[in-house]
Structure 1
Amino acid sequence: MPNNGCVAVNDSTFELHLKKPFQPLLGLLSMPYAYVVPHEAIEYFGNDFRKNPVGTGPFILKYWREGEGLVMRRNSNYFEFDHKGVRLPYLEAISISFIIDKQSEFLAFLLGNIDFISGVHSSSKDELITRAGALNPKYRESIKMITGPYLNTEYLGFLIDTSLQHVSNSPIGNPYVRKAIAYGFDRDRMMLYLRSNLGYPAHSGLIPKGMPGFTDSLKGYSYNPDLAKFMLAQAGYPNGKGLDPISLSTTEDYVDICEFLQHQLSEIGIPISIEVIPGAAYREMMSSSKLLFFRGSWVADYADAENYLALLYSGNFSPSGPNYTHFSNDKFDRLYRKSLLQSDDSLRYSYYLKMDSLALDYSPIIPMYYDKVVRFVGSDVEGMNPNPMNLLMLKRVKKIKNDTYSR
């Protein structure tokens, strides 16, 4: 057997041998970066394989000029069929344009020169959507707005490793202070006024909406200033008396969120100062335990909640792993290891729920909001359904012929 544990049993069977059980592997294997490709093509093309892809997908690369455009044609031998027995995909071809300027992209979309754009850029946000996050009524006849959960959790993180002197001397080492912060800001208002509701307020745990294992039954933190003040008093800082300013670190993209937190937390007696750090330096400082209180986010690498709970497993302490908070809890660790061995999804999800609940109890991480997939297509496009990984799946997309169509 090869050292990497991969065996091609025959021309259509691929076998993986693991050193130890890892049930999330199935979710990982569903991701594009884990697709099986023919070794003969890799050996033949070498570094030029990216320009000569060989696979079993619904489309075939026909043309690619880097930085300008890419054209794919229908794979007439694609193996999937729809429920009526019609071979997929429906589209004959796909043309992808690389438009760097977002305003130019938006204008091309309005003119009907492109059929699909992903996300909302600040340059077109006020024109395309309302304050509450709905499609501008004037485009209802010509544009479809498609939304759904996106596997990204935006959160506040605390370094709580009390073996570090700068943590033991800080008020954030006190769980009551962390819970006061968790109850001290209004997620619903934050999403409405700062993100136009293009996201879901995080009233549950770390596992995001749309992920198998997520449940609304897990009650996390919601805005409760009276309870926040009670927690602050329990920590020994009644109405914030004696509490020095707590520094919240962030990057430039999230200053508005942090200023919102700063204002709301000041109303319950928690003084916050904001430190804006360039992205590369920010990631290095977070990884090397130099940030006590920070704004973080985690986009799923694969569709299994283990990917999120790994952020709090003590075996993943940064800098070698993604546990930037240095949270360590024996019960959490036992549940985490147990979940990796459990092949029954319902039982594994029950372990995930217990871990997420423990994380809320100790609050090394405070979820703020879960992200949302936002797509816009012309009204003549059908089948452009969202998915929580925001993968572009075009095999069931159709364009309707409409002589009167105008955007």
Structure 2
Amino acid sequence: MDREPAGLDPTTSHVTTAVMIYNNIYDTLLAFDTNMDIQPRLAESYERLDDVTYKFNLRKGVKFHNGEELKSSDVLFTFKRLYDIPAAQGQVSMIDPNGFECPDDYTFILRTKEPWSALPAQVCSSYMNILNEKAVTEAGEDYNRNPVGTGPFKFVSWTPGDSIVVERFDDYWGEKALLSKINFRIITENTSRVIDLESGGLDIALAVGVNDIKRLQNNPELELIQFTHTGIRYGAFNCSKEIFADKRVRQALNYATDVETIFNVLYEYGLGAMRANTPVIPLLSGRNTDLPQYEYNPEKAKALLAEAGYPDGFSVVYNYLANTTNTRLGEMLQAQWAEVGVELIMSPLESATLTAALNAGEHDFCTANSTYALGDTIEGLYSFFHSSMHGTSRCRAFLSNPEIDALLDEARVEQDEARREQLAYKIQELIHDEAPWIYIGYEYYNIGLKSDIKGFEPAPNSAHDFSRVYIEQ
């Protein structure tokens, strides 16, 4: 892994590496397959009783890793807990907190506040992995590093800075995992992961860096899997900070950024990504392909800064996770912004500290690679840009625009897909003008495997299922 997660509580931990691991420890009621189609999971079936009411029929005999049987009360506990954690509240903003029912141990009913067609996709969200009430209560603050789920693997150990170990859960309700144990090693430097893969220290190298792609392709004993990801890499201005409250400043720094050069350096002229012009990824409908990219124009940037009251520029702090990609990106931005009088102060942070600072809105500027975990354009835009999402793990720009909020609210409950797409186009136009992000690229995800590793099917949202992976003898 390229990054140590802050924890393995799905309610609070949502960096990609956390999702990769706990997707195999927990189950959701419904889940996306590798084609992003919704399939039954802990709920063997569900039905929409009316416009706002959904009924989930739970599988019987499902065991948690602590031996407890899954009951509807655990599902209720999981959903209600989301309301108590600020970073997760946006995930249940459309669900009626008073609309839950548990008619019996194997039936769970929920109601949305308004008709909401994205509810089944929302139930697939990693936030909604089902927890065992007893395990969470007994562990207290230690639960984040002692997870208990119903998944094909159970948690064994966590050695900080080194590894996280899981092993096969023999009482799993579905097909038993083929591997007896998985050791998720934490190796933050890209090339070091590839070297370990080549030497046999790793069987699978997650998040292979662009600079190492050709190296893997030229090694007959290794396999490279490259696939279109549900993520986009971007830089986010904290619009709640005084320096970035004026959109002219944000527009200026978009014009001051030579994205083409950055893209070519980071992704070797498209080997590892596609150029981006909107926050909506190519996999989804409703992407406004007509929006222009901000061209590199330092003189226009200077004029906008002067117009906004900063003729002599200013200083801004860049908080980031220290890795090769973020460091190179920061160094290029630092040089480019200096040309218009803006000093970029680079401030690398450890993973947990960075996540806490970003959720609290303490940053000036950050970069991120965020995913459309629900496979829905409107829900993705809502999580990134609606003002109610401030302080959550996906909202890094802290944008407040009443018109964008109103259109997102309308689109969330709109049942007509054509109208929904029109709203998505309009929302993207407004976001483009607000310029809360600098679009870097729609990244491909690269995974290296030894040639004897079989059964691995990558998930576009990075929630990879390792239960079907095996080593060919």
**Structure 2 length-normalised TM:** 0.61
Q: Is contact 2:232-2:279 (8 Å) kept?
A: yes
Q: Alignment partner for residue 273 of structure 2, among 200, 212, 226?
A: 200
Deviation at 1:100, TM superposition (A): 4.5
Structure-1 separation of matches of 2:205 and 2:392? 37
AA partner of residue 142 (structure 1): E
Secondary structure of the residue that 1:332 maps to in structure 2? helix
Deviation readout 1:44-96 (Å, 9 max, x if unpaired): 995499979563x5x354x8355474321677862xxxxxxxxx56x632421
Aligned to 1:109: 197
Residue among 364, 385, 388 paired with 2:460: 388
1:393 to partner: Cα distance: 1.2
Contact 2:257 2:333 in 1 (8 A): yes
Counterpart check, 1:245 vs 2:313: yes
Q: Which runs of 5+ in 2 are unaligned?
A: 1-72, 77-96
The answer (yes or no) to whether the contact 2:334–2:343 under 8 Å persists in 1 is yes
Partners of 2:420 and 2:149 in 1: how far apart? 36
Paired residue for 1:277?
347
Match of residue 369 from structure 1: 441
What amino acid does structure 2 have at the position aligned with 1:295? C
Per-residue deviation, 1:220 = 4.0
The aligned amino acid for 1:311 is F
Q: For residue 70 of structure 1, what is the aligned residue in structure 2?
A: 166
For 1:294, the equivalent position in structure 2 comes to: 365
Q: State the partner residue of 2:183.
A: 97
Distance in 2, matches of 1:281 and 1:397, equals: 33
Q: Which residue of 2 aligns with 1:81?
A: none
Is 1:189 aligned with 2:261? yes
Which digits, 9 at most, give the CA deviation of each residue in 1:135-189, with x for residues without a partner? 44441x111111224444433334556xx8x54xx8x7252x5434324433343
Query: Which whole-Å CA distance do the structure 2 matches of 1:109 and 1:118 have between them?
Result: 10
Number of equivalent positions: 361
Can you list the C-alpha shifts for 1:20-61, whole angstroms capped at 9, x where unaligned? Answer: 45544333311344134676xx47995499979563x5x354
Deviation at 1:336, TM superposition (A): 0.8
> Contact 1:187–1:369 (CA<8 Å) still a contact in 2?
no
The residue type equivalent to 2:311 in the other structure is L
Letter in 2 for 1:34: M
- Rounded Cα–Cα distance in structure 1 between residues aligned with 2:166 and 2:359: 38
Larger Rg: 1
C-alpha distance in structure 2 between counterparts of 1:366 and 1:16, whole Å: 38
Are the aligned partners of 1:198 and 1:371 in contact in 2 as well (CA < 8 Å)?
no
Match of 1:156 in 2: 235
SS of 1:374 mapped into structure 2? strand
Q: How does 1:4-403 map to 2 (within 5 A)?
A: 5-10=99-104, 12-36=106-130, 42=134, 46-47=138-139, 53=148, 55=150, 57=151, 59=152, 61=154, 64-67=156-159, 69-72=165-168, 78=174, 92-100=178-186, 109-112=197-200, 114-120=202-208, 129=212, 133-139=213-219, 141-159=220-238, 166-167=242-243, 173=246, 175=248, 178-194=250-266, 196=268, 199-210=272-283, 212-213=284-285, 215=287, 217-221=289-293, 223-225=295-297, 229-230=299-300, 232-233=302-303, 243-251=311-319, 253=322, 254-265=326-337, 270-277=340-347, 279=349, 294-297=365-368, 299-300=370-371, 302-303=373-374, 304-305=376-377, 306-316=379-389, 318=390, 325=397, 327-345=399-417, 347-397=419-469, 399-401=471-473
Aligned to 2:289, the other structure's residue is in SS state coil
Of all paired residues, the percent bearing the same amino acid is 17
Contact 1:339/1:351 (8 A) holds in 2: yes
Cα contact 2:281–2:442 (8 A) shared by 1: yes
Deviation of residue 361 (structure 1)?
Answer: 1.9
Letter in 2 for 1:16: L
Aligned-pair CA distance for 1:338: 0.3
Structure 1 residue runs of 5 or longer lacking an equivalent are 79-87, 402-407
Q: How far 1:358 sits from its partner (Å)?
A: 1.1
